[in-house]
Structure 1
Amino acid sequence: METPLLVTDFLEQARRHYGDQEAIVGTDGERFTYDEFGDRVDRFARALQERGIGKGDRVAVLDPNTHYHLEAAYGAMSIGAIHAPLNYRLTSEDYAYMLADAEMDAVYADYEYAAKIEAIRDEVPTETFVTNDADAVEGDWEDFDDVLEAAEPDYEQPEMAEDEIITINYTSGTTGDPKGVCRTHRTETLHAYLVSIYHELTDGDVYLWTLPMFHVNGWGHIYAVTGLGAKHVCTRGVNADEVIETIREEDVSFLCAAPTVLNQLIDYYEREGEPEMTGDNDVRVTTAGSAPPEATIRAVEEEFGWRLKHLYGATETGPLITISPERLLEADNRFSMKKRQGMGVLGTDVRVVDEDGEDVPRDDETLGEVVVRGNQVMDRYWNKPEATEEAFSERREGYYHTGDLATVDEHGLIAIRDRKKDIIISGGENISSIELEDTLFDHDAVADAAVIPAPSEEWGETPKAFVVPSNGDPEDPPVSADELTQFTRDRLASYKVVRRIEYVEELPKTATGKIQKYELRQREWADEDRAIGEG
């Protein structure tokens, strides 16, 4: 018997079996059972319908990891509307593009970020604006809790099919404008099943939201944690003291953390004199992005007493496509093996291919591009058919092309060695070197520039710019490095700011004038284990 795979089933499963169990711990300490959570979702769904929003319409959610994010997401999806979570670290101009590109019908924005939407609301087609603290926001915004109180907990749920789009997740714009990654009920559901398996989730888990919910729907945890009847513990950001205090007080059993967050926790551990790092539950942690150094993995497992896994993926893939294995990790190289991006998960065909689309040998030396095919891979890019076609056909037809270059070892485990598109991954965020270069070129004192990832103990990678000054004199440029950094800070999201600048007489180039970034990377990473940002 075949039944459709719908994301709404996750909350329905929790309400059916765990209705009186605690579902969410809010950032303000407020607690909700699954029945209470479900009631709030129903009321928001009804409120959206009363405002003319229905199946196929787009609802943007701009929020840190609060219970409002979960309620807005499930409320929208319950009526077949498309949930579009937005990165809260972006600029007003970024939001103007996304809201217009997807023709968003409604936006819920946390009070801390609503001003960025207010600044551009006359430029976008959106008509419904809701926040969680209307008194703290300028402009005409409805208050989320007031909206719920005025709405009845019943709504008309439309017929939905598993191949219909239910979320749009915008990429970081690493190659031009951000692209809206379209994911269906089916891709979201099957990815959540994979997350449940490989993260070993159960109804006894207590999940701490250190991973942004906007990141590919929190890597699918808004579904998996909910469907299994586990507990969500919300946060408004990552502060090491608060994270560890919450882990102990709420008996957290699972969290996700970029390498930069792991480093913050290690600093806390050392600064506080090696305190207890768990509550009553054992702790599992998954990391992604740039591979953490072996010393970081060792500290997390041997000092904290946690168990760490390393996954790899992309917004277009759910993200989970590979994960570090367990049985293949030998005692003498356990920590170095956990740095590898790992093996493909169930139902996922991950390959590393050469320019002709052929598999590279398993010699751990030959570079190729990582391509992937699986049920969790995106349906398409929103309104970008050419970009979609290119993403699935460049080297090997029918596979999503990640743009990452890797090797494969004898066990079929991949290790990312370089990046085809010069993406910088800093603290788990993708940053386009092209965007940063374009910003630098806007300054009159910059004649030429190249931005590459530089090693950072805190962030794994950080952007570094090699700049040829307009006067040609790197010893006495017409603008200081600090002034140029401020120039980028005024024009970019905070995490994209170019904080490292080196003035040079010229940049290495090919005979045709193309900048040879690999020479700059080799020089910058000469003292590191690998020639890309892996800490």
Structure 2
Amino acid sequence: MHRPLLVTEFLDRAREYYADDEAVIATTGERYTYGELADRADRFSAALQDRGIEKGDRVAVLDPNTHYHLEAAYGSMQVGAIHTPLNYRLTPDDFAYILADAGVDVIYADYEYAEKIEPIREEVPTETFITNDPDAVSGEWEDFEEVLESVDPEYDRPEMAENDVITINYTSGTTGDPKGVCRTHRCETIHAYLVAVHQEIADDDVYLWTLPMFHVNGWGHIYAVTGLGAKHVCTRGIDAEWLFETIREEDVSYLCAAPTVLNMLIDYYEDNDVETSGEHDVRIATAGSAPPEATIRTVEDEFGWYLKHVYGATETGPLITTSDARRTFEDDSSARFAVKKRQGLGFLGTEVRVVDEDGEDVPRDDETVGEVVVSGNQVMEEYWNKPEATEEAFTDRVEGYYHMGDLATVDENGMISIQDRKKDIIISGGENISSIELEDALFDHEAVGDVAVIPAPSDEWGETPKAFVVPANGDPENPPVSAEELTAYTREKLASYKAVRKIEYVEALPTTATGKVQKYELREREWKDEDRMVGQG
């Protein structure tokens, strides 16, 4: 039989089977059962309908990882409205563009970020403004709690189809205006199923929200964790001491963290005598650039956690691969670290290929570089109101596959390993140099706390590698190692033509809300006086 795949079924299942079980630990200290969470979401649904919101209307959520985000998301989707989460690190101008582009009718904004909406509220089509603390915000805002109290939890759920768009997730806009990634009930549901399987989520899990909920709907965890009846532990930010304390006190079993968050936890661990877990075993997922082997070793051997490295993009759900291929390593063998640095194997029902410029699969020699393309039910439907960008994303090298823009190799087991972004590959004197390979080498030096490598202009070579280094002592004016010593270090570890030629010490690297280094900011600064980059990055 055919049963439509709808995201509303995740909360429906939780309320049916786990109504009396704890669902959410709020940042404000309250604890809600799944019955209470569902009631609050139902009331938000009723309130939206009272304000004229119908199926297909857009409701934006600007919020850190609080229970309000979960309630507003499910409350919107239950009436067929399109959930539009916003990156809280953006500027008022960014929000003005997105709210207008999506035609947002209602916005719920956390009090800490509502001030970013105030300057542009007259420029956008949004008519209803709701916050969780109107006294902390200038302007006219409705109070979230009063909105819920003003209605009964009854609402009319419209008929919905699995191919209806139910979320729009905006990309960062690093190469132009942000693009709205349209995701249907079907692709969100299937992606959540895949997350549940590959991340091994169960109803006794306690999930700590270090990953932003706005980021592709928290990698699908707003669905998977809820539908399986596991517990959400909400956060308002990242603080290493608080994270370790919460992991112990709430007996956290699962969390996600970008490599930069892993480094933050490691730094705190090395400076403090700290217990890293409660009674539960802890597993952690990381994505983005592969963490250095030393990071994985510390997390697994010293923290005692189990690390999974995953990979994807906003347009793909996001998750499409995992390094968790246990037949390829022993849990107590150091050989596992090399495997876990790889982006890995495709998720169930997901075809991940690495193709050359002619669209042909590269050999499984772990040397030949091609672009990653993907086909799967979790891949986006389209970009909102951008048909040309949609067509380009699916037709560049291979028709019908989403093109990731990442360059990779494939080993004999079919596991991919990202070598670089197409725009980050360094073409120096005709030779291709992987910025990731150089970063890995520099990370191994004890005096390097963090690093990003980009192509820099060179009169002699066209491009040359430049490293922006955060010294381990945190002082860019007095780093514990000289630039000349780091150059020599990379020359010892890599082929001489790959050695880093330029080094700049900095206090911190620019990052996204998920901890991913924004290399485009470094590239733009480095190339502002040039007509073009050799590699067109």
TM-score (norm. length: structure 2): 0.82
Match of 1:70 in 2: 70
- Matched position secondary structure for 1:277: coil
Q: CA deviation at 1:22?
A: 0.2
Match of 2:402 in 1: 400
Match of 2:280 in 1: 281
Query: Amino acid of the residue matched to residue 168 of structure 2?
Result: I
Match of 1:515 in 2: 533
Q: Which residue of 377, 380, 383 corresponds with 1:378?
A: 380
Match of 2:176 in 1: 176
Q: Is the aligned partner of 1:323 residue 2:292?
A: no
Query: Amino acid of the residue matched to residue 372 of structure 1?
Result: V
Match of 1:32 in 2: 32
- Matched position secondary structure for 1:13: helix
Query: Amino acid of the residue matched to residue 80 of structure 1?
Result: G
Query: Amino acid of the residue matched to residue 166 of structure 1?
Result: I
Distance 1:415 1:153, change over 3 A: same
Distance 1:208 1:54, change over 3 A: same
- Matched position secondary structure for 2:107: strand
Match of 2:161 in 1: 161
Residue pairs, 1:68-147, within 5 angstroms: 68-147=68-147
- Matched position secondary structure for 2:338: helix
Distance 1:46 1:452, change over 3 A: farther
Q: Would you say the 8 A contact 1:450–1:515 is kept in 2?
A: no
Q: Would you say the 8 A contact 2:527–2:533 is kept in 1?
A: no
Query: Amino acid of the residue matched to residue 89 of structure 1?
Result: R
- Matched position secondary structure for 2:328: coil
Distance 1:400 1:503, change over 3 A: closer
Query: Amino acid of the residue matched to residue 383 of structure 2?
Result: Y
Q: Kindly, what percent of the aligned residue pairs are identical?
A: 67
- Matched position secondary structure for 2:194: helix
Match of 1:476 in 2: none
Q: Would you say the 8 A contact 1:316–1:377 is kept in 2?
A: yes
Higher mean displacement: 218-227 or 174-183:
174-183
Match of 2:479 in 1: none
Q: 1: distance between equivalents of 2:517 and 2:409?
A: 29
Deviation string, structure 1 residues 2-28 (Cα, Å, up to 9, x no partner)? 100000000000000000000000001
Higher mean displacement: 497-506 or 96-105:
497-506
Distance 1:373 1:35, change over 3 A: same
Q: CA deviation at 1:506?
A: 11
Q: 2: distance between equivalents of 1:278 and 1:503?
A: 42
Q: Which residue of 332, 343, 351 corresponds with 1:349?
A: 351
Match of 1:474 in 2: none
Match of 2:265 in 1: 265
CA RMSD, Structure 1 to Structure 2 (Å): 3.2
Distance 1:322 1:503, change over 3 A: closer
Q: 2: distance between equivalents of 1:52 and 1:62?
A: 21
Q: Would you say the 8 A contact 2:174–2:520 is kept in 1?
A: no
Q: 2: distance between equivalents of 1:456 and 1:219?
A: 29
Query: Amino acid of the residue matched to residue 347 of structure 2?
Result: V
Q: Which residue of 363, 366, 372 corresponds with 2:365?
A: 363
Q: Would you say the 8 A contact 1:485–1:499 is kept in 2?
A: no
Distance 1:132 1:505, change over 3 A: closer
Q: 2: distance between equivalents of 1:217 and 1:335?
A: 29
Query: Amino acid of the residue matched to residue 254 of structure 2?
Result: F
- Matched position secondary structure for 2:339: helix
Q: Would you say the 8 A contact 2:284–2:305 is kept in 1?
A: yes
Unaligned segments of structure 1, at least 5 residues: 438-448, 459-480, 522-535
Distance 1:231 1:505, change over 3 A: closer
Q: CA deviation at 1:102?
A: 0.4
Deviation string, structure 1 residues 359-384 (Cα, Å, up to 9, x no partner)? 01111111110000000000000000
- Matched position secondary structure for 2:284: strand
Q: 2: distance between equivalents of 1:58 and 1:298?
A: 44
Q: CA deviation at 1:421?
A: 3.4
Q: 2: distance between equivalents of 1:457 and 1:377?
A: 39
- Matched position secondary structure for 1:321: strand
Q: CA deviation at 1:497?
A: 10
Distance 1:514 1:206, change over 3 A: same
Q: CA deviation at 1:515?
A: 2.0
- Matched position secondary structure for 1:181: strand
Q: 1: distance between equivalents of 2:528 and 2:174?
A: 25
Moved over 6 A (4+): 423-426, 449-453, 497-507
Deviation string, structure 1 residues 433-470 (Cα, Å, up to 9, x no partner)? 99xx9xxxxxxxxxxx9998746589xxxxxxxxxxxx
Q: Would you say the 8 A contact 1:11–1:38 is kept in 2?
A: yes
Q: CA deviation at 1:129?
A: 0.4
Distance 1:60 1:451, change over 3 A: farther
